[in-house]
Structures are given as structure tokens and as C-alpha cells.
Amino acid sequence: MLAFDPSSVFLSTYLLAQEEAEAVAEGGFDIVTLLNQALNGVGIVGILLLTGLGLAITFGVMRIINLAHGEFIMLGAYVTFVFQDAFGMDLLMTIPFAFLVTAIIGAVVELTIIRRLYGNPLETLLATWGLSIVLQGVVKLIFTAQLKYVKAPPYLSGNLPLLSDDAGGALISISYYRMFIIAVALALLGLTMYLFYKTSWGRQIRAVTQNRDMAKCLGVNTKLVDMGTFAYGCGLAGVAGAVISALKTVAPPMGQDYLVDAWMVVVTGGVDKLIGVLAGSLLIGEANAVIAFILNDPTARVIVLAAVIVLIRYRPEGLFTIQKRS
Amino acid sequence: MANAVMGYKQSSFPTKLAAISGIALLIFIILPFVFGDFQLSLMSKLLLFGSLGISLDLVWGFTGILSFAHGVFFTLGGYASAYYLKLNLSADSNTYGGELPDFMVWNGLETLPWFIAPLKYFPVALVATVAVPALFAYILGYFIFRSKVSGVYITIITLAISSALTTFFVSQQAYTGGTNGITDVSKLSFLGSPIPPIGLYFIILAFTVFVLALSWWLTQSNLGLILRSINENEKRIAFLGYDVAQFKIFIWTLSAALAGMAGGLFVPLNQFISPVYLAVAFGTQVVIWVAIGGRGTLVGPLLAAILLGQVQNYAEKVTQDWQLVIGILLLVVVLFIPNGLMSLLPKQLSLANLSKPKVLQTSDAVKN
């Protein structure tokens, strides 16, 4: 069931959580389980934030419908696998390489495909879908369809007990790796916001998205900005892939699992401000955790997706966007 | 199948097109007698996929709504038909001898759920294969099109729906058979005797001709003209006093009904249905047929589905990386042949002419 489900990110993390919960609190429906579930929701929020951030750049800022986003995550995971496999590198050390490699591939993609299709969202959507199939195919050709495993660094394994019972067993705990994911996600969000709102490069990007022709007249190299921004968004996806690679097995179709979720996060949060991604992932991750606690996981996913559809219907610009006159 | 095309073209190129469509239909009629069992069932399947492509072309090629949910409509029709066939298994071929399908027994159901039970009867099942997807599409369409949601967001909604329904069908094991879907169904029979594969092929061929003819007739009618105008300039059509949403809902529902019928015919042929056909990947496959065949050409998606299916059949004996080929093909088509492979045909043979609004011709006349 898990292998089949196209977006099993919630499920897989939940099953883990349920095992934890069952092992920890045998009482079942009590405050401890609820707290564990909420903490687990935080873990999902981290993954959602990480995977959604890159998309918030490519779709939110550049308005590129990038259906190959999941494949850039997959590429990042493979970069980590290769570096760990070949040089025995620590997962943390591979993150910059994952960023660089996926950013370069992103730049090439922008140069050869995306650039021809600006102002044509549906064509871009189709082309990036073709690209996603091609990337999966090429990776499968190189690495075969076999599942690959990436090791998490030893100092990030284990759980941090927050509350212990009388016997000293942990009642409420959060795994270090989950905390690490959230830390990386928040750090990347902060870095990206700094880049966008405090540097001249960010100013140029915002200028180009607001008024391309005017920016051009004022001497901004719009083509370079486009390429750089898209490459940066892809690089972020690569980092997400590198970090996630230790949680799940690495395989060519893995990116598909994150695509729909990343889209839901970005659409929910709204594309006006980068901080919307955080809001979107918080809302979706925690809603999912709470509903899954009350009912069950697949139902939670269906309800959350349905809620997002209703949201798009009434507020296509996202929840956290200030209404503008058009 | 191309007969329908002939009707319109008769005035301009009667002999040529009559010949081509006649030959095309003849080939499809002779085909089953030439090929073996495997090709027969493959061609039946590809004709159904082609019909599904045509139904998507109605909403995407003509009205400009890109949907990844057509696999969903197809599968809903498929499940309706699968329940019918499953419930009509003779008692001795049912694993547990009883009336209850095997997967329900495994999952601890004691009685047949009330919403599945009526599907035992053929008329109910027949109506359901069309009505269930159509009703679902109508509700969805009413919800989406009567709002300011546009273009890309609609596509994202269809992606979400496909993803949500897949999860739902997989999770409701007792009612849907979970990941495996509904397998080991009985053969479709007529007056008590099972229909042979060749009979099924001709039913499917007739269905394909029906879908093509209906779609062609629709797109040539005034309705088709309005749909194309919506694609070109939605605002202007709204200003002219047309209720754009109503037209969109209509064509969306009709298209879903056609997709559901195709799905209903798919199950007797394929002998099973599973959430694989609900998933985004299959919905994408349909989009790829239309994109490669040529949007707004009707025949294009059908030919693309048949061509790609046949090539895939042979290519998969040589290479495991057929999907890579499809991906490259899709990229090449989007970047360099935006109107699809049909646009590469000589103009006289191309159906693409037909999709040009008649308005264009009158404005040309005015210019002259």
C-alpha cells in the first residue's frame, strides 16, 4: 500500500509515529498520544516546508508551473547517495553538493526548456512533466531501479525524551533527525528571505517579477535573473532531497511522492510572500496530524486534499495573501 | 471511424477523404481477422484509450481546460462495470461460493453494501457506468467553473482530486478491493453466453466510432464554436452574453460520461480494475496522448494512443526504458511541434483544418 500510494509522505511518517506511540503509551487515547501526534505533525511540517520552499521560488516568485519539482528532490537524494557511497561522506557534508548539482541541472533546464515557454503556463506544465519523466528515466538508466539507502549521521539518531514516566522510559520524545529537518527547513527559509528582501540580487528578482520590461530598461539582466532564480529553486529542492534521503529509500520515482504535497503547501500558503510556505506547511501538516489522530491516515489525507481544493476554489491566491485590486 | 469526418469534408474533397475514411474503417474491420488473440485485445484496449483521449480533447483541445482527472472518470466507470461483472460470477467460480465478492469476505463484510448491491443488474450497471462519473464531474464542474478559478489552478485541482481518490480507493479495502482493485471478474455475456473477444472488439470499435462522430458533430455545431471561442477569449464570450460556466460544465460532464463509458468497456476486456488507473500517472498518460496526437484534432489523440501503444508493445521487448522515450517525445512535441503530430500531416488530410472556427473563414471573406 505504501509503495503504491503516490503521495505517501504523510502515511509513512505516520506509521512510524504510530509504532512509536504504541510502544510508548499503551493507554491509547490519552494526552500523551495526542502530544506525540502533535510532535509528529511538526516532523511532517518540516518535510513539507523543505519540499515546498523550492516550489515557492519557482512557482511563487517566477510563476513557472514546475511539475518536475519532485525529480529535483530525487536528484538531490541521489547526489547524497553517490557522495556517501563513493567517498563515505557524512550526510551533512553532501548537502552543498546536492545544492550545487541540482542548481546546475536547473540552470541547464531553464536555458533549454523553460526559457522558450515563458508566458505559457500550460505548455510549461506539459514540458516540465515531460522533463520529470525524462529525469526519472535517465536516473533509472544510470542507477537502475534498485532502491538505494542513505545513512543518517550517527549523532542525529535516537530520540530526545521530553517527558519520562516513573520507570525512566520516554513518554514523549522527538527524534533528533526530525528536529534536524525542521532546523534545516527554517534555516533555508531564513536564508531565502534574507536573499530576497535584503540583497541586490533579491531586489532584482522582485523587480523582474513585478515589471519585467521596466527592469530590463533599468539595466537588469532579466535572462540571468530568471536562470539564477530557477536554479536556486531547484537547488533548494536538491537540499530537500539530500535531507529526506536518510528518512526514506532513494529510488527514481520517489519525487512523485512529494510533488502533490509541495503543490498543496504552496497553493495553501499563497504565493505573495515567502512566509506563506511556512504557514501553508504548518496548516497542512498539523491538520493532517490532528485528523489522523481522530480518524485515520488515508482519511486525513483525503480530507486535507479536499479542504485544499475548496480553498483553491474560494481563494486561489492562497490563505495568507493580502487581497489586491486587479 | 473516419466516416464522420467524411460528412463535413464531402463538399470540398469528396473522393479523397471518402476513400481515406473508408479505408481506415475497413482496416479496423479486417484487422481482427488478420491478427492473433494478443493483438485483438491490445487493439481493443488502445481503441478505448483513444476514446478516452478524444474525450479529454473535447475539454482540453477545444475548451482549454487541461485535466489530469480523466483517468478518474474512466476508472469510476470501470468500477461500476467491475462490480456488475464481479457480482454476476457464477457461484462455483466465486472463491467462497456465496454471493459476496472474495475481497469483501477477506475484509470481514457480512452483507453486500446497499450502494453496491443494485449493480448486480445490468440496466443499473449500464446507467451507473455513465451516470457515476458524469454526476461526479457535474458536481466538480459546478464547483470549479462557477468561480474565479482559472487555467493552471483547475489543472492543480484535478491533480489533487486524482491523488485524493487514489488514496481513498486504496484505503477502503472492504468496498473497493484496495490496491489490488477488483480482480477475477466474470466475462461479459449476452443472453447467457459469454461474448467472444472478437465480439468485444467490434463493440469497442462501434463505441469509438460513436465517440469520434459525436465529438466531431459537437465541435462542428454552434456549441463547438462557442467552446472554441471560450478557449480563444473567455472574457469576450462572457461579454457577448453567454454563460461561459454553463458551457464549460456541459462539455466537462459530457466528456466525463464518455470517459466513464470507455472505462465501463475496459473492465470486460482487461478483466480487472485497480486504483492504478485513478492515479496521476494514468491521467498523465491520457494528457500525453492528446498532446502528442494534437490538441483539437479529435483523430490525433486516437491515433497517438494506438501508435504509442503499438510501439510500446514492441519497444518493451527490447528496452525497459520506454517511459524515457515517451518523456523525450513529449518534450520534443511541446517545444517544437506544439500542435502535435497531426499538424505534420499535409493540410488536405489534416483534421486540424476542421478545428479552425468558421468565423475565420468569414473574416477572410470580408478582407477579400
User: Locate cell 455545431: which residue?
Assistant: B221
- Is the pLDDT score of B7 beyond 80? no
Cα–Cα distance for residue pair A189/A177, rounded to 1 Å: 18
What dihedral do alpha carbons A230, A232, A237, A242 form, nearest 10°? 150
Find the helix or strand (DSSP H, E) in which B190 lies.
strand B189-190
* Residue in B170, B328, B338 closest to A4 by CB: B170
Structure confidence at residue B182 (pLDDT): 83
Cα–Cα distance for residue pair B275/B162, rounded to 1 Å: 10
- Better pLDDT: B102 or B63: B63
**Which is nearest to B301 in space by CA: B78, B41, B81, B70?**
B70
- Is the pLDDT score of A117 beyond 90? no
Alpha-carbon separation of residue B275 from A29, A67, A276, B130, B146 (angstroms): 32, 22, 33, 19, 29
Q: What pLDDT band is residue A267 in, cutting at 50, 70 and 90? A: confident
Cα–Cα distance for residue pair A316/A267, rounded to 1 Å: 7
Asked if A57 contacts A192 with a C-beta cutoff of 8 angstroms, the reply is yes
Alpha-carbon separation of residue A44 from A5, A58, A178, A186, A286 (angstroms): 17, 22, 9, 13, 8
Do B324 and A116 count as a contact with CB atoms less than 8 A apart?
no
**What is the per-residue pLDDT across A23-56, written as a single tens digit (0 to 9) for each?**
444 444 567 777 777 777 788 888 899 888 888 8
CA distance A91 to chain B (A): 30
Q: Hey, which residues does A175 pair with through a beta bridge?
A: A159
* C-alpha grid cell, residue B91: 457461484
The residues, ordered by sequence, that sit 6+ positions from A117 with a Cβ below 8 Å of its Cβ are A123, A124, A127, B334, B335
Asked if B87 contacts B119 with a C-beta cutoff of 8 angstroms, the reply is yes
The residues, ordered by sequence, that sit 6+ positions from B32 with a Cβ below 8 Å of its Cβ are B40, B43, B198, B201, B202
Q: Hey, which residues does B171 pair with through a beta bridge?
A: none
* Residues in B 136-155 with any Cβ partner in A closer than 8 A: 143-144, 147-153, 155
**H-only helix segments in chain B:** 3-9, 14-34, 37-57, 70-87, 102-106, 122-145, 151-171, 173-176, 197-220, 222-232, 234-239, 244-270, 280-293, 299-318, 322-336, 352-355, 358-367
* Residue in A6, A130, A137 closest to B279 by CB: A6
Q: What pLDDT band is residue B1 in, cutting at 50, 70 and 90? A: very low
**Mean pLDDT computed over A278-291:** 86
Structure confidence at residue A122 (pLDDT): 81
Helix/strand/coil (H/E/C) assignment for every residue in B106-144:
HCCCCCCCCCCHHHHCHHHHHHHHHHHHHHHHHHHHHHH
CA distance B321 to chain A (A): 6
Structure confidence at residue B11 (pLDDT): 47
Alpha-carbon separation of residue B315 from A142, A152, B309 (angstroms): 19, 40, 10
- Is the pLDDT score of B251 beyond 50? yes
**Mean pLDDT computed over B355-363:** 42
Query: Considering just the CA atoms, what is the radius of gyration of chain A in Å?
Result: 20
**What is the per-residue pLDDT across B179-196, written as a single tens digit (0 to 9) for each?**
888 887 777 777 777 788
**What is the per-residue pLDDT across B202-247, written as a single tens digit (0 to 9) for each?**
999 999 999 988 998 888 888 888 888 888 888 888 888 888 888 8
Cα–Cα distance for residue pair B306/B205, rounded to 1 Å: 13
Give, to the nearest 10 degrees, the angle between helix A275-294 and helix A31-55.
Answer: 140
Do A122 and B327 count as a contact with CB atoms less than 8 A apart?
no
Residue B133: φ, ψ to 5°: -65, -35
- Is the pLDDT score of B281 beyond 50? yes
- Is the pLDDT score of A76 beyond 80? yes
- Is the pLDDT score of B325 beyond 70? yes
Mean pLDDT of chain B, nearest integer: 81
**What is the per-residue pLDDT across B132-144, written as a single tens digit (0 to 9) for each?**
999 999 999 988 8
How many Cβ atoms are within 10 Å of A23's Cβ, its own excluded? 10
Cα–Cα distance for residue pair B283/B136, rounded to 1 Å: 16
- Is the pLDDT score of B34 beyond 50? yes
Structure confidence at residue A187 (pLDDT): 92
Residues of A within 8 A of B160 (CB-CB) are 260, 263-264, 305, 308-309
* Residue in B321, B329, B334 closest to A127 by CB: B334
- Is the pLDDT score of A59 beyond 50? yes
Give, to the nearest 10 degrees, the angle between helix B299-318 and helix B322-336.
Answer: 140
- ipTM for the whole complex: 0.77
3-class secondary structure, A22: helix
Structure confidence at residue B133 (pLDDT): 94
- Is the pLDDT score of B349 beyond 70? no
List the domains of chain A with CATH numbers. Answer: 9-314 (1.10.3470)
Decide if B221 touches A, using CB distance below 8 A. Answer: no
User: Locate cell 528515466: which residue?
Assistant: A137
**Which is nearest to B76 in space by CA: B115, B120, B131?**
B131
Q: What pLDDT band is residue A258 in, cutting at 50, 70 and 90? A: confident
Overall residue count recorded for chain B in this entry: 368
